[in-house]
Amino acid sequence: MCNSIVNVNDQQLSFRAASVADVAALTALEASYYPTDGYPAPLFFQAHHQWSELLQLACCGEQVVGYCMGAPGLQPQSLWLMSMLISAEHRGQGIGAKLLRHWLAKVDQLGYQTTQLSVAPDNTNAIRLYQQLGFRSGAQKHDYLGPGEHRLLMQRQALTSD
């Protein structure tokens, strides 16, 4: 069941939590962008079973065109945006921004206070999007994801309804 529907370039785009039936599509999407080191199907099954509301999809019709996946952090009421990916043929249409807004609204609704992420320091488009959605830059970490995999850490505080 979709949570919300918007139109993007005359296409109906919906957002919803992933189901077990979506694992094959998620795995194929990962492999299309990360052919040698993308997330495998068992990780998506695990994410669905453990944090189902933190694995949200963007769909054009029945086709999965993107996802955001989060996992709880070590601190209470904190979580990490582990991954966000939009299919190559759907990039540049604002789908990533709409999906991330949807995901963050879900995160806020679930009561998480802090959302963290890591991003490649040279991924200026992603950094700009994250900043537009309330993330603040933090430390730069050398070899954070292994040798040569430097990352900028970013953090966002939940929106309050005061």
Instruction: Kindly state whether residue 142 falls inside one of the protein's structural domains.
Output: yes
Span 8-13, average pLDDT: 70
In tens, the pLDDT along 98-107 reads 999 999 999 9
Positive or negative: CA dihedral 140, 93, 134, 102? negative
Contact criterion met (CB below 8 Å) for 2 and 59: yes
Instruction: Kindly state whether residue 162 falls inside one of the protein's structural domains.
Output: no
In tens, the pLDDT along 41-89 reads 999 999 999 999 999 999 999 999 999 999 999 998 999 999 999 999 9
Q: What is the CATH number of the domain that holds 87?
A: 3.40.630.30
Number of domains in the chain: 1
Domain of 130 in residue numbering reads as 4-157
Instruction: Kindly state whether residue 127 falls inside one of the protein's structural domains.
Output: yes
- pLDDT-derived band at 155, boundaries 50, 70, 90: very high
Span 137-141, average pLDDT: 93
Instruction: Tell me the percentage of the chain whose pLDDT exceeds 70.
Output: 91
The residues, ordered by sequence, that sit 6+ positions from 77 with a Cβ below 8 Å of its Cβ are 111, 112, 113, 114
